Amino acid sequence: MNKIPLFKELKHDRWVKPFFKQYKKTLVTALILGFFTFFCGSALMFNSGYLISKSASLPVNILLVYVPIVLTRAFGIGRPLFKYLERLTSHNWVLKMTSKLRLKLYQTLEKDAVFFKRDYRMGDVLGLLAEDINHLQNLYLRTIFPTVIAWIIYIFVVIGVGFFSWWFALVMLLYFGGILIVFPLWSVIVNGARQKREKVLKNELYTDLTDNVLGISDWIFSQRAQEYVALHEDSEAELLAVQAKLRKFNNLRNFLFELAFGMLAILTLLWTSTRFIGTHGGDANWIAAFVLAVFPLVDAFAGLPAASQETNIYADSLNRLNNLPDKAITKKVETDLPQNPLDLKVQHVSFQYTATQKEVLKDITINISQGEKIAILGRSGSGKSTLANLLRGDLQPTKGSILLGDAVVSTLDDTVADYIGVIQQVPYLFNTTVINNVRLGNENATEKEVWDVLERVNLKKMIAALPNGLETMVDEAGLRFSGGERHRLALARILLQNTPIVILDEPTVGLDPITEQALINTFMQELKNKTIIWITHHLKGIDNVDRVIFIENGILEMEGSPTYLEQTSARYRNLKNIDNGE
Amino acid sequence: MIDKAIMRLSGIHKLMGLLAGLDVSQAIFIIGQAYNLSSAITGLWQGHGLAAQIPAIIWFIVFFLARHLINYLKDEMLDKFAATKAKELRRELLEKLFRLGPQIVQREGTGNVITMTLDGVALVENYIHLILNKMINLTIIPWIILAFVFYLDWESGLVLLLVFPIIIIFMIILGYSAKAKADRQYKSYQVLSNHFLDSLRGIDTLKFFGLSKRYAHSIYSTSERFRKATMSTLKIAILSTFALDFFTTLSIAIVAVFLGLRLIDAKILLFPALTALILAPEYFLPVRDFAGDYHATLDGKNAMTAIQKILAEPEIKANPVVISTWSEESSLVLQDVKFSYGKNEFLQPVNLTINGYQKVGIIGMSGSGKSTLVNLLSGFLQPQQGRISIDGNELKNLNQDSWRKQLLYIPQNPYVFEATLRDNLTFYTPDATNEQVRAAIKVVGLEELVSELPEGLDTQIGNGARALSGGQAQRIALARAFLDQERKIMLFDEPTAHLDIETELELKEKMLPLMQNRLVLFATHRLHWLQQMDIIVVLDEGKVVEIGKYQKLLAQKGYLYRLKNRMGGKLNEQNTLV
């Protein structure tokens, strides 16, 4: 059994098994309905076979076939009805599970929200995880439910036949059991491995193609584009071969599966011919009933081999989910709240991500008093963004301490949001209305307050001109906020949040200089009574701050007011000139 | 029902003929199978004993085998056919994409293009298989079976025949009403289904506002709302399956009851009655199969349409014109060149003459038409009007191999392939020697990176392996330029806008020597570059507003002068750029 990846995953699972205990009633109802769907299908043919055999024996009174006639109609209506209800019930159950699974995924990710993006920057892991939840839906709907229902039918058939003949019940137990176990197992072992290989190859092809489509200009300018097409076909060849094998196997398996059911019909015919003996009726009326009932059963079992083979794909999803950290919800420790004045004290702080990596920051000491405006400059990778994360308490210093109004920042947990606001390099706008996006800063803000902050960030005119005003969706077709506008919306949120300290994390990268300059002016004007910690890679607008800090290779390299640096540092003067286009 | 594009595939008619032939024999085998099974059962019922039934049982086995063998053969054939066609389609699509270039990728979205090439074509492959198989099954098998049922018992045949159009009508009616309901719900549906991913992507923002813990409740309640919406759509959506199921099973039941009643009246014998009963489910099987795969075929059809749309994209490539190697005497003339898209004029008529190894700075803010001009120069766009000529040769556009062969295009984010550093450096010059590569590394200042890499030049770099910084990517692009001395034209598109200022300065030092003895077209909004340019083209709102030397333009205190001052950030000059 250890050869089957799904079973391996289920051993230490936190994402599938615990959920079977929830909404038990719905689950049992769905399974019972599923059973009755197939039961009615077979019973219809069973009953019809009996009905016409019995009728052919020319019963004296029509009342003798009255019961089969009524039953035939009942089963005929019952089958579609149960199927319909079963689908609704099982979908309802699965969607209820989905809500719980999503909640669980969200809560798992929330704990490390700020670093999640950094830790998982390779590819769209968030999209993958959301997709994994959908895969679990399919695991329930396409594999687990049908398998359980098939087993119930199996048990029912064996017991049912047992009423007529114990030895044929035994034959059914073994033969059907064979079909039920051998085909899925064979598929999952032989084809499962291929399917896994297919997935690996597909992923490789996916990354490879992505890489080259992103580099499409270079292929074209180097005039090697057609060369790439040939290259792609080469790397595709193995995938196509695996897929061809997969299909060949499936075709063969389907053929054998049908044969197995054909054999079953013949076995039934042979058995009934010895068990139900009669001439023109009598016991022989049952022969047609039993033989005809075999064929509809195929429907209950035909999907299982393919479904079990798919489990290898689900196993991957399950693996990814189970590998997410399982952190118990930490009880909030009562901490002292920061006291006024809200000075930030960074004392001899060093930081490294893991013990083996090199130190990102080395023995940094900065004191920022309330209302002060400082700019932190440095190359990308110099550690300036890490410093911002430390200031908000999302990271804890390896050495040293960071105090906000004499409270240790990292113990403040979510309350830190009352003191420090952040504007990111690429502000995230949620796919909802403008007003909902702005109200993130303060959920109780009135419409007037929202208009006020929008006016302050110079967006009032633009938003008032939109057909739905504040109720416009931010990503509605045709409407895209430009880089500068997104930052202004982000600022509006911060203004509503009204924190005494604001961290600006490279908020103007990639904007053209005019937009950049205008944005900086708005930032400085609207945040003038607050502490500003502005991380930047340019010197544009630097004269607005009280103090400039240069960080290089994790060390505080240079520090001072813009005027002081202008007078004392040639390097500073040079950079500033260049930024001004000299 | 079958897409026209499918009918255009080569070899399709032959295949369809073959499938039709197989289906006719399959229908006959199905009848044979039912006939012999029924005969064996009737024999037993009459009390003739098992031994007398052995021939019928053997014939049943033979027909049963033959019937499923045909399925097997059809699947094998269709698999091969679909796989071949899919491969052809994928090649066609890739060739087209790599001819059309980055414009189409940007418009359609990178992810979209890739999904289309890999998954989209796979969907089409499945579609080809399904549609051919199920359509032909549906058009042949039921009718042969029906004819035989009529022959056995015309009344049963009539029941089966009458049910068929009812099924179709109900499926269509229910299908439409489900669609209408789904359409009404679609919008809220979309918002709800994207909500979860949206929340995950913005989770850090929620954290910054201290909302992330409370937001969990919203995740759950939205998901529950989504469930309710889905369920209410589903109730209608699966009604059509229900109707199909209902009418097929019910009509089997009716056939059985009718047969029973007439058997009692001795108007029919058991054998034909039983055969008709066994054949009834077989009659409905093809239509049920067809409905079962309806969604898969729909996805495939949509994918096919999307792919065909790309394949039908017009290409601007004109007849090749010989353009001699760019030299000091060469000249490129743009005369009244204009580009618009829809109502938007991206570039108003431009006149520009560029000579020899000039360094041309192209400056303008977002929306000034700078990118459009760059795209015209790189040959990805074709002007609506005006004339382009190189050394007196007129061209429709610059999508010319002999032009691009000379061009070095360096964008804001040069792409670093997932390959070794060496392969990345020699992308344009695969034959470069080790010494040349070493020299290039030195010229662009990549020594530090090379020494940090565990396997030096042969280390895998790029997104998945080892992401490089923006500055390092620029250096790689420059090294490519250094290695390819044949290319005499450099086209820069904002190469340093996103870099920190010190990196920018270091790069500038490396870039300037490479620009010597080359024609340089340099689009930027970083003003300090302009001092190194021979001539500046200033763009504003799609118009060339000034052309001239930097100092001269500053001295005449025109647009460039005002631009410079405004960038300088004096608050009082904020809105005076007119």
- Give the domain-ending residue among B150, B173, B192: B150
How close B377 gets to chain A, by Cα (Å)?
13
Is residue A85 in some structural domain? yes
Residues of B whose CB is below 8 A from A296: 281
Q: Out of A124-138, A458-472, B296-310, B550-564, which region has the weakest mean confidence (pLDDT)?
A: A124-138
Q: Do A491 and A386 share a structural domain?
A: yes
Q: Does B107 touch chain A (CB under 8 A)?
A: no
Is residue B524 in some structural domain? yes
| Sheet order of strands, B543-548 included | B407-410, B489-493, B519-524, B359-363, B535-540, B543-548
Is residue B203 in some structural domain? no
Taking residues B345-353, report their average pLDDT.
85
Is residue B65 in some structural domain? yes
Using the beta-carbon criterion (under 8 Å), do B216 and A106 form an inter-chain contact?
yes
Express each pLDDT in A147-172 by its tens digit: 999 999 999 999 999 999 999 999 99
Taking residues B504-525, report their average pLDDT.
90
Higher pLDDT, B573 or A507: A507
Which candidate, B160, B255, B49, places its Cα nearest to that of A49? B255
Domain enclosing residue B426, as ranges: 419-483
Residues of B whose CB is below 8 A from A578: 501, 504-505, 528
- Give the domain-ending residue among B461, B483, B505: B483
Q: Does B568 touch chain A (CB under 8 A)?
A: yes
- Tell me which of B46, B67, B207 to substitute to probe the interface with A (most A C-beta atoms closer than 10 Å): B207
How close B274 gets to chain A, by Cα (Å)?
7
Domain of residue A370, CATH code: 3.40.50.300
Q: Does A538 touch chain B (CB under 8 A)?
A: yes
Q: Do A557 and A515 share a structural domain?
A: yes
- Tell me which of A23, A52, A92, A240 to substitute to probe the interface with B (most B C-beta atoms closer than 10 Å): A52
Q: Do B534 and B465 share a structural domain?
A: no
Q: Do A441 and A365 share a structural domain?
A: yes
Using the beta-carbon criterion (under 8 Å), do B45 and A45 form an inter-chain contact?
no
Q: Do A529 and A393 share a structural domain?
A: yes
| Phi, psi (degrees; rounded to nearest 5) at B290 | -60, -45
Is residue A223 in some structural domain? no
How close B505 gets to chain A, by Cα (Å)?
9
**Residues of chain B by 3-state class (helix, strand, coil), percent to 5:** 65, 10, 25
Q: How far apart are CA A98 and CA A134, in angstroms?
A: 8
pLDDT-derived band at B574 (thresholds 50, 70, 90) equals very low
* CA-to-CA dists, residue B222 to A349, B230, B391, angstroms: 43, 12, 65
Q: Do B110 and B38 share a structural domain?
A: yes
Q: Do B526 and B455 share a structural domain?
A: no
Facing B464 at nearest CB: one of A207, A416, A581: A207
Q: Do B368 and B455 share a structural domain?
A: no
pLDDT-derived band at B212 (thresholds 50, 70, 90) equals confident
Residues of B whose CB is below 8 A from A213: 97, 105, 110, 113-114
Tokens found for residue A116: 């999640």
Q: Do B495 and B384 share a structural domain?
A: yes
Tell me whether 0.95 is exceeded by the ipTM.
Answer: no
Facing B274 at nearest CB: one of A98, A262, A288: A288
| Phi, psi (degrees; rounded to nearest 5) at A383 | 105, 5
Q: Do B492 and B386 share a structural domain?
A: yes
Is residue B52 in some structural domain? yes
Residue indicated by tokens 């936190």 = A14
* pLDDT (0 to 100) of residue B66: 96
Q: How far apart are CA A450 and CA A442, in angstroms?
A: 9
Express each pLDDT in A476-488 by its tens digit: 544 467 778 888 8
Size of interface A-B (CB pairs under 8 A): 412
Per the structure, the count of domains in chain B is: 3
Q: Do B103 and B48 share a structural domain?
A: yes
Classify A292 in phi/psi space as left (phi over 0), alpha (psi -120 to 50) or beta: alpha
Q: Do B449 and B559 share a structural domain?
A: no
Using the beta-carbon criterion (under 8 Å), do B72 and A251 form an inter-chain contact?
yes
Is residue A388 in some structural domain? yes
Q: Do A357 and A439 share a structural domain?
A: yes
Burial grade of A273 (CB within 10 A; 0-12, 13-18, 19 or more):
buried
Q: Out of A19-23, A300-304, A484-488, which region has the weakest mean confidence (pLDDT)?
A: A19-23
Express each pLDDT in B268-321 by its tens digit: 999 999 999 999 999 999 998 888 777 777 788 888 988 999 999 888 877 788
Using the beta-carbon criterion (under 8 Å), do B37 and A291 form an inter-chain contact?
yes
* B396 pLDDT more than 50: yes
Q: What is the mean pLDDT of chain B?
A: 87
With the C-alpha atoms ordered A130, A131, A136, A137, is the resulting torsion angle positive or negative? positive
Give me the residues of A, 483-512, that contact B with CB < 8 A: 493, 497, 509-510, 512
* pLDDT (0 to 100) of residue B188: 60
Q: What is the mean pLDDT of chain A?
A: 86
Q: Do A354 and A317 share a structural domain?
A: no
Is residue A448 in some structural domain? yes
Taking residues B255-261, report their average pLDDT.
92
Is residue B100 in some structural domain? yes
Taking residues B514-539, report their average pLDDT.
90
Q: Do A374 and A281 share a structural domain?
A: no
Using the beta-carbon criterion (under 8 Å), do A580 and B568 form an inter-chain contact?
yes
Residues of B whose CB is below 8 A from A90: none
Domain enclosing residue A312, as ranges: 5-189+276-321
Q: Do A566 and A504 share a structural domain?
A: yes
- Tell me which of A54, A55, A246, A517 to substitute to probe the interface with B (most B C-beta atoms closer than 10 Å): A55
Q: Does A68 touch chain B (CB under 8 A)?
A: yes
Q: Do A503 and A420 share a structural domain?
A: yes
Is residue A209 in some structural domain? no
Higher pLDDT, B144 or B370: B144
| Phi, psi (degrees; rounded to nearest 5) at A467 | -55, -40
Q: Does B129 touch chain A (CB under 8 A)?
A: no
Taking residues B441-446, report their average pLDDT.
90
* B90 pLDDT more than 90: yes
How close B291 gets to chain A, by Cα (Å)?
15
Q: Do A477 and A531 share a structural domain?
A: yes
Query: Which residues pair with residue B408 across a beta bridge?
Result: B490
Q: How far apart are CA B558 and CA B536, in angstroms?
A: 13
- Give the domain-ending residue among B130, B150, B170: B150
Domain of residue B359, CATH code: 3.40.50.300
Is residue A349 in some structural domain? yes
Q: Do B381 and B509 share a structural domain?
A: yes
Q: Does A480 touch chain B (CB under 8 A)?
A: no
How close A416 gets to chain B, by Cα (Å)?
8
| Sheet order of strands, B393-395 included | B344-355, B331-341, B385-390, B393-395
Facing A106 at nearest CB: one of B47, B199, B241: B199
Is residue A217 in some structural domain? no
pLDDT > 70 in chain A, percent:
95
Q: Do B560 and B427 share a structural domain?
A: no
**Three-class SS state of B91:** helix
Taking residues B146-154, report their average pLDDT.
95
* pLDDT (0 to 100) of residue A306: 85
- Tell me which of B205, B218, B317 to substitute to probe the interface with A (most A C-beta atoms closer than 10 Å): B205
DSSP-derived secondary structure for B7-31: HTSTTHHHHHHHHHHHHHHHHHHHH
Q: Does B447 touch chain A (CB under 8 A)?
A: no
Give me the residues of B, 54-83, that contact A with CB < 8 A: 57, 60-61, 64-65, 68-69, 71-72, 75-76, 79, 83
DSSP-derived secondary structure for B400-432: -HHHHTTEEEE-SS----SEEHHHHHTSS-TT-
Residues A470, A450: contact at Cβ < 8 Å? yes
Residues of B whose CB is below 8 A from A503: none
- Give the domain-ending residue among A256, A289, A321: A321
Taking residues A353-370, report their average pLDDT.
85
Is residue B145 in some structural domain? yes
Is residue B188 in some structural domain? no
Search chain A and give the residue with CA nearest B528. A581
Using the beta-carbon criterion (under 8 Å), do B72 and A44 form an inter-chain contact?
no
* B571 pLDDT more than 70: no
Q: Out of A231-245, B10-24, B169-183, which region has the weakest mean confidence (pLDDT)?
A: B169-183
- Tell me which of B76, B163, B200, B483 to substitute to probe the interface with A (most A C-beta atoms closer than 10 Å): B200
Per the structure, the count of domains in chain A is: 2
Q: Do B394 and B427 share a structural domain?
A: no
Search chain A and give the residue with CA nearest B248. A76
Residues B493, B411: contact at Cβ < 8 Å? yes
Express each pLDDT in B476-506 by its tens digit: 999 998 899 889 999 998 888 788 888 888 8
Is residue B7 in some structural domain? yes
Using the beta-carbon criterion (under 8 Å), do A278 and B47 form an inter-chain contact?
yes
With the C-alpha atoms ordered B304, B306, B309, B315, is the resulting torsion angle positive or negative? negative
Residues A240, B90: contact at Cβ < 8 Å? no
Q: Do A112 and A156 share a structural domain?
A: yes
Facing A211 at nearest CB: one of B263, B463, B564: B463
Is residue A234 in some structural domain? no
How close A319 gets to chain B, by Cα (Å)?
19
* B570 pLDDT more than 50: no
How many C-beta neighbours within 10 Å does residue B321 have? 15
How close B160 gets to chain A, by Cα (Å)?
15
* pLDDT (0 to 100) of residue A478: 45
Q: Do A545 and A491 share a structural domain?
A: yes
Q: Which residues contact A302 (CB under 8 A, 6 or more apart)?
A: A257
Residues of B whose CB is below 8 A from A81: 242, 246
Q: Do B369 and B504 share a structural domain?
A: yes
Express each pLDDT in B33-83 by its tens digit: 999 999 999 999 998 889 999 999 999 999 999 999 999 999 999 999 999
A420-457 burial: b if 16+ Cβ within 10 Å, else e: bbbbbeebbbbbbbbbbbbbbbbeebeeebbbebbebb
* A129 pLDDT more than 60: yes
H helices of B484-522, in order, are 501-514
